[in-house]
Amino acid sequence: MTRFLFGSSAGGHVATPVTIANGGTGQTSAQAALDALAAASGSLVQGDILIVDASANLVRLARGTDNYVLTMNGSNPNWEAASAGVSLSGDNTWTGTNQFQDEVSISAGDCLTFELSTRTISSGAITGNGNSISVDTEASASSDDLNQADFSGSAVSGSVFYLKAFNDGRTVVVKDGISGTGEFLGSGDFSLDNGQDVIAFSAFYGLTNNYEVSRSDNL
């Protein structure tokens, strides 16, 4: 039997919708049509999704269990338990702030974690922002004292950091035992007098003190 559908020219939809029993939806709008079909299926519930099966039929895939992920299993997607970890291959880049809360180990290859940053002394102090810091004098003075390095905002207790002079022409004197947040506790003052001088500290004691680890200089 041939069926004829008559629609109004103004609204673009049929005047008398075809019922679901006759292959229509019984509705006059898209959302209502989808809702009507879902209800008519008798089995779709919240969280279910529709997929295409091997016979090109639209079939229901029941919602997955909590914390399951949708994974392809042959030609069909399937809800499966998430694996314990993610294995990445190839080159990957993380941007933004990322935190590893448990152990991190490098099984092969190189691991370079220190990136030299530059800090300029302001009123005898710098704010720590990395493990390897090149320190410049305030207003490019020929010499300046560095009394504290405050790591309280960007480090965890025990973090190790290295200081070197930004420039051979500007001497930075790291001073021992000047009280304040990020004070240095070591074996005396140390002039970062040339490009070969380096001093290392560990930020400890609630990040309020920096304990000297070692210093490297010649004469």
Partner 1 sequence: MTKCPLGLVYRSMCIRTLKSIWNKQSTKNYVIESIKRSSGNLKPIVVIDDATKKAECFIANADLTDFELYTDMLLCRKIETIAEYAITKHHIQTSNKSKIEKEKFTTINEKRNYMHQELETKDEKEFNKFVKEL
Binding partner 1 (rule: CB under 8 A), the pick from 29, 32, 168, 205 is 168
Residue 209 beta carbon to partner 1: minimum distance, rounded to whole angstroms: 14
Rg (CA), the chain: 34
Please count the residues of this chain forming the interface with partner 1, following the rule CB under 8 A: 29
Listed in sequence order, the residues at least 6 apart from 90 whose beta carbon sits closer than 8 Å to its beta carbon are none
User: Is the CB of 133 or the CB of 199 nearer to partner 1?
Assistant: 199
Binding-residue pattern over the window 125 to 164 for partner 1, x denoting contact by CB under 8 A: ---------------x-xxxx-x-----------------
CA distances 107 to 88, 89, 90, 110, 111, Å, are 14, 14, 15, 9, 10
Binding partner 1 (rule: CB under 8 A), the pick from 51, 178, 204, 209 is 178
DSSP string of 2-48, one letter each residue: -----B-TTTSSBSSPPPGGGTS-S-SSHHHHHHHHHHHHS---TT-
Binding partner 1 (rule: CB under 8 A), the pick from 167, 181, 202, 208 is 167
202 near partner 1, rule: CB under 8 A: no
Task: Give me 41's structure tokens.
Answer: 């299926």
From the list 84, 201, 80, the residue with the least C-alpha distance to 135 is 201
120 near partner 1, rule: CB under 8 A: no
List interacting residues with partner 1 (CB under 8 A).
Answer: 124, 140, 142-145, 147, 167-169, 171, 173, 175-178, 186-191, 193-195, 215, 217-219
